């Protein structure tokens, strides 16, 4: 059996060696999930709800150890690891409060002896291949609604968040979800490929666009329900009337939180020329003061990158920008090893010729571009193959609505950014994905409707 080596991204120390699931083990777990799913689906919803309530309580109980595990394996600052676990609780509350409504049968017509009803059935066996950057959020966005709807779940956490994936699975088992109904498969891309080869009913993937395409190809010959939550190149626009301090603080947090490793991190900033210089000065000041360091330290705001390979991507983007005429205002390079460190980096005088304004950075690197007016800002913000989120900073609500309604994205923000709400759908346009999670629609996404025509 192969093993997965888990290294601490802050210092390169070995944290754990875990046995991986080869194709045979994945197939066995898939067969067991198929066999176990009908009994799980036949339980009253209230019994599945009780399991998820117990899971929620365990997260509250074990917060410190779970946060520490997450920080040690992905390098996320400990306060942000705790924030993720705390942010999960209202998310679960929303799922629990609304799942009954989401799955309830509906009578949509009843006249002259003819009655029409919609019933909601589980999809069956759901394969969930997940990212490492917010493993609790992105894992639970799929796993919990899927389980509540009566599905079995085969869950492959990212190899970079395997310990968290194991903990999530263990807590669900302890909460009463049968092990065959909620199975974790551990490993890297090979395990993901083995999972996709199983006769599952749905594939829900969170990760990069490149891997998302590979997943879509693997599923193309079967009519499975496909959901892809992919990357972004999310823009923010600072209008000429924007409160500079608020915009700089909000956008700096959006760009640098979790070292920029969020799908909805701010990746590009456009600033009206009238306030450009003042904004850049304030923004650089905020970013310079961020405390970079040991992610287990309570004071740390920016930790290491989770993956060593991303250091090269960021170095390449910075070098490309500088070669094409950008100005380096802050940072610009890797930190001292061991560990995967990259300095918070701010570039100005950037253009869309530069990779840093086109390709997902997924790190603490941001380009700021001067624009002449709102139309230029809109044109540049939409000049991307991605379409996850966009934000606008202005005190003028009408102006914000006008601008945001022209954005080709799934989520828009006025005077805020990098925010996810369980009450709202989470979805991307273009290369940012297919399908959705969260909101009532996101809960329903793990069921299929059956139409009843009843005469009598």
Cα separation, 59 vs 89, in Å, equals 8
| Separation between Cα atoms, residue 221 and residue 87, nearest integer Å | 38
Give the pairing of strands 411-414 and 389-393. parallel
Query: What is the arrangement of strands in the sheet containing 234-238, beginning at the earlier edge strand?
Result: 327-330, 345-348, 365-371, 266-272, 234-238, 389-393, 411-414
Contact 168, 92 (CB under 8 A): no
**Cβ distance to ligand NDP smaller for residue 270 or 362:** 362
The residue among 124 and 442 lying less far from ligand NDP, judged by its C-beta, is 442
Binding residues vs ligand NDP (CB under 6 A): 129-134, 138, 156, 158-160, 188-189, 192-193, 196, 206-208, 211, 214-215, 229-232, 263, 360, 362, 388, 426, 428, 433
Q: Least separation, in Å, of the C-beta of 105 and ligand NDP?
A: 30
**Residue closer to ligand NDP (CB basis): 163 or 242:** 163
Terminal Cα distance for the chain, rounded: 60
Per the CB < 8 A criterion, the answer to whether 160 and 306 are in contact is yes
**Residue 190 designated active-site:** no
Tokens linked to 197: 């080869």
- Which CB atom, from 340 or from 370, has the smaller least distance to ligand NDP? 340
CB 433 within 8 A of CB 385: no
Supply the minimum distance, in Å, between the C-beta of residue 57 and ligand NDP.
26
Nearest-CB residue for ligand NDP? 192
Nearer to ligand NDP, 216 or 330 (CB): 216
Which of 229, 267, 301, 359 is an active site residue?
A: 229
- Is 185 in contact with 1 (CB distance < 8 Å)? no
As measured in angstroms, the least distance from the Cβ of 359 to ligand NDP is: 10
Alpha helices in 176-268 (DSSP H): 189-196, 209-218, 244-256
Q: How far is the CB of 306 from ligand NDP (least distance, A)?
A: 8
Minimum Å gap between C-beta 424 and ligand NDP is 13
Active-site residues, by number, are 229
């Amino acid at each position: 059996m192969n093993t997965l080596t888990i290294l601490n991204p802050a210092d390169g120390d070995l944290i754990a060696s875990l046995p991986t699931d080869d194709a045979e083990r994945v197939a066995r777990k898939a067969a067991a999930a198929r066999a176990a799913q009908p009994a799980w689906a036949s339980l009253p919803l209230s019994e599945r709800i009780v399991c998820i309530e117990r899971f929620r309580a365990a997260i509250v109980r074990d917060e410190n150890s779970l946060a520490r595990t997450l920080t040690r394996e992905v390098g996320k600052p400990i306060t942000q690891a705790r924030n993720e676990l705390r942010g999960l609780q209202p998310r679960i509350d929303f799922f629990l409060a609304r799942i009954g409504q989401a799955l309830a049968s509906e009578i949509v017509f009843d006249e002259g002896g003819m009655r029409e009803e919609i019933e909601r059935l589980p999809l069956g066996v759901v394969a969930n291949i997940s990212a490492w950057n917010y493993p609790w959020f992105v894992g639970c966005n799929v796993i919990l609604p899927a389980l509540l709807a009566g599905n079995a779940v085969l869950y492959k956490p990212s190899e970079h968040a395997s310990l968290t994936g194991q903990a999530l699975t263990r807590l669900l088992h302890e909460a009463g979800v049968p092990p065959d109904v909620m199975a974790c498969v551990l490993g890297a891309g090979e395990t993901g490929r083995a999972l996709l080869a199983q006769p599952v009913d749905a594939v829900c993937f969170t990760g990069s666009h490149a891997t998302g395409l590979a997943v879509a190809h693997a599923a193309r010959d079967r009519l499975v329900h496909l959901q892809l939550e992919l990357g972004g190149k999310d823009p923010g626009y600072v209008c000429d009337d924007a409160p500079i301090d608020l915009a700089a603080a909000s956008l700096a947090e959006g760009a640098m939180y979790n070292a920029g490793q969020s799908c909805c991190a701010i990746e590009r900033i456009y600033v009206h020329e009238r306030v450009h210089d003042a904004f850049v000065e304030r923004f650089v000041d905020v970013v310079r003061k961020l405390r970079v360091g040991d992610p287990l330290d309570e004071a740390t705001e920016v930790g290491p990158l989770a993956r060593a390979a991303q250091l090269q991507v960021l170095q390449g983007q910075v070098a490309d920008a500088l070669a094409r005429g950008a100005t380096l205002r802050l940072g610009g390079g890797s930190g001292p090893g061991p560990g995967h460190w990259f300095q918070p980096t701010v570039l100005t005088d950037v253009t869309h010729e530069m990779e840093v304004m086109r390709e997902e950075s997924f790190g603490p690197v941001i380009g700021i571009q001067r624009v002449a007016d709102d139309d230029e800002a809109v044109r540049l913000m939409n000049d991307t193959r991605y379409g996850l989120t966009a934000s606008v900073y202005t005190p003028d609500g009408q102006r914000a609505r006008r601008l945001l309604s022209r954005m080709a994205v799934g989520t828009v923000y006025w005077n805020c950014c990098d925010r996810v709400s369980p009450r709202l759908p989470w979805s991307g346009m273009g290369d940012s994905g297919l399908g959705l999670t969260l909101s009532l629609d996101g809960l329903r996404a793990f069921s299929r409707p059956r139409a009843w025509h009843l005469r009598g």
